[in-house]
Amino acid sequence: MNSKVNSTINSTINSKTETQENSYIEQAKPAPNVYIDSGLSLLNVEEGHRIQGMVRGAAKKHLGNRFSLNAGLPLWPSSFFNLDKAQVFVNAKTCDKEEVVRLCSQGLVEESLIIEKCGMAFCAKMSALADSIDERMFYNLMSAEEAIHYHQISQFLPDGGAGVSPNPFHLLLARLIENGDRDSLVFIIQVVLEGWGISHYKVLADSCTDPQFCFELREILKDESRHHGVGVIFSKQRGLNELSRDFVVEVMVEFLQMVQLGPQAVVNAVEVVLGQLSREHKIELFQQLDGEKESAASLQTLRSLMLQNGGEAIVQRLDIHHSFTPYSAENCL
């Protein structure tokens, strides 16, 4: 073999090697990212601050007569929380039953409020990471919708939700927004969580006993559908590199475990009002609340959302962790 042929072969091999290396580097290259504080600890300005008038004026322009609402808790009946199946609740005094249902309702509204609060930070980050004017416009419009949702939901809480404390899910969501890259955020928040939020808000709206809040939930539902739809478009267009997939799996394992643990908030509300339950009575309560069945349905919805939107590899890894299997009542303690 002459030197010219050797040179050609070596050149071809080197070219292929460089292509493979460049391909690997491209796959391993992190998706765009910037740091932004989730704002979980942000407070409102003091009453009477001039900016409040500006904010209210802007919100009223969007909401009209819906700007100021007057409603109180509870917003769902005891049957919505499966409390009518729980013997400890059925045997309680009427005033205690009312307080348990009020706390359960308040917990749902508080959870939604802080999600919308985090949503504003998410949109700010995604706007900064946008690839086009259209993408930046979308996330700024989405941010305005999240701000409107926050305002509307706050009206159904004591003191406008000023004293609401974040729960473990909110803390996870805050860390996700602060540390996640663009592509992992799109997949987790817009594809999975907002996709799940569509069914969640529909169930809340269908069972809500207050016409005003029911209407607001259906308005939020329309926005959630649009946010989810755009997330699906971006996720299919960009995909996830290896680093982003690892991050998604890490976050989803933690989030799915919260779902696996069943109706912890309802059990906690019962104990706050009726006193601490023994282990045996708590297991019985979880069983009577249909916790395992409810968790299984939610986990299946989340699994389907991932499978339908390019998350097959992620689901396979989550299956290894048994992340889609609900915990038994005994394991929820």
- The reported pTM is 0.89
> Taking residues 140-165, what's their average pLDDT?
95
Residue 202: the pLDDT is 97
Residue 312: the pLDDT is 98
Residue 98 CB burial class (10 angstroms; 0-12, 13-18, ≥19) = middle
Residue 29: the pLDDT is 65
> CA-to-CA distance for 106 and 72, rounded, in angstroms?
10
Structure token pair of residue 105: 């309702």
Residue 8: the pLDDT is 46
Residue 9: the pLDDT is 43
Could you tell me where the DSSP H helices lie in 208-290? 211-238, 242-260, 264-274, 279-288
Closest Cα to residue 120, out of 192, 38, 190?
38
> CA-to-CA distance for 74 and 208, rounded, in angstroms?
9
> Taking residues 144-165, what's their average pLDDT?
94
> Taking residues 171-200, what's their average pLDDT?
97
> Taking residues 38-51, what's their average pLDDT?
91
> Taking residues 92-120, what's their average pLDDT?
98
> Taking residues 264-278, what's their average pLDDT?
98
Residue 243: the pLDDT is 95
> Taking residues 207-235, what's their average pLDDT?
97
> Taking residues 261-285, what's their average pLDDT?
98
Confidence of residue 31 (pLDDT cuts 50, 70, 90): confident
The answer to whether 208 and 215 are in contact (CB under 8 A) is: no
**All residues at 6 or more sequence positions from 102 whose CB lies less than 8 Å from its CB, including other chains:** 73, 74
> Taking residues 49-63, what's their average pLDDT?
92
The chain-wide mean pLDDT, for the chain, equals: 92
> CA-to-CA distance for 194 and 213, rounded, in angstroms?
19
The hierarchical CATH code for the domain 93-332 is: 1.20.1260
114-138 tens-digit pLDDT: 999 999 999 999 999 999 999 999 9
> CA-to-CA distance for 321 and 294, rounded, in angstroms?
20
Is residue 172 over pLDDT 70? Answer: yes
Is residue 160 over pLDDT 70? Answer: yes
Residue 121: the pLDDT is 98
Is residue 303 over pLDDT 50? Answer: yes
Locate tokens 């996709």: which residue?
195
